[in-house]
A and B are shown apart, each in its own frame.
Chain A
């Protein structure tokens, strides 16, 4: 018998009675506020930030002010040029040279300050979202969903994307003596640009 069949038959023999353990209906609980303020508050708790927008700012000027030393600014959106387009990055090795990646998230989650990215936004170079030093995420307030329940219930991307990451602030670690460090192995900062 294959391992598969062995496992499945042992599970069938050993399992508790299915009738005694019904599946509860899908949960839709908690705070249903999907406002921008809630998102920003959550984002900050997880170490993310809102990209500052001064009078007359465009995304380009805001990025230039925020990341004055950035040499390679990679754009994954049509409305912004950067120094290179993500489509022109040939490999993860090349993506690793990027200082700032600009990408658009199809939605965000107010409860967590999370933004969603998939291969659709990353032009099939998924590693770019993690190899870049910094990431700027364009997000529309209209694309906020209230919490994790509403996100999974309402957003079709979870069922269509092959790679779907919820990024909640920058990478982080507290593995050395409990000291919280923002910017571990993935992006060092995550900024949201309200569209």
Chain B
């Protein structure tokens, strides 16, 4: 299986560690991973703003970059959600359909496709609060949501539970959106920031030393809120923990 790695723009620019951890982790797991050098963005920011036509160029480029791979993996739930569920600014050719069908968010790829049983190199002796982004929770369905009253399941928790020394904090509102919301974070900055600070306080109050998530965009926002509000909590992408980061 040839894997194309997609590293979203904000991870590329601000959180390269997350991209590196994703790549290294997949390589450790014996996967044949490529990072197409011409990649930019999946088109989500334009599409979510309603400007779907403006997403066409990004989507076309995405397909050009990734059509040749058996699986396209990305450390971002919201990007995976966009490609899989909303990627329709361009004509739906066989290539496009192939790309959409074989796009995976990292956690679901590890959990459902590779079915990874353990991460012997991973140890994270900290109490973490798991933040499921709304894309992973309610679109990709990698965890049960409280709205439906369904039996508990959590793919990220399943993976993290295989990490030595880790323990979990239980926030009061685990499924509440953190308020990032793409351009919402600037057009509705007051609500966005309030949601963010409430989110980090909830985790901190539950005893979390770290917030861990499969979505860096949520954490970029939460980290900004935590630092401004002086909430002492750290942030780490799930890929980094699974790849053996100690802190």
Direct touch of chains A and B (CB < 8 A): no
Give the A-binding residues of B (Cβ under 8 A). Answer: none
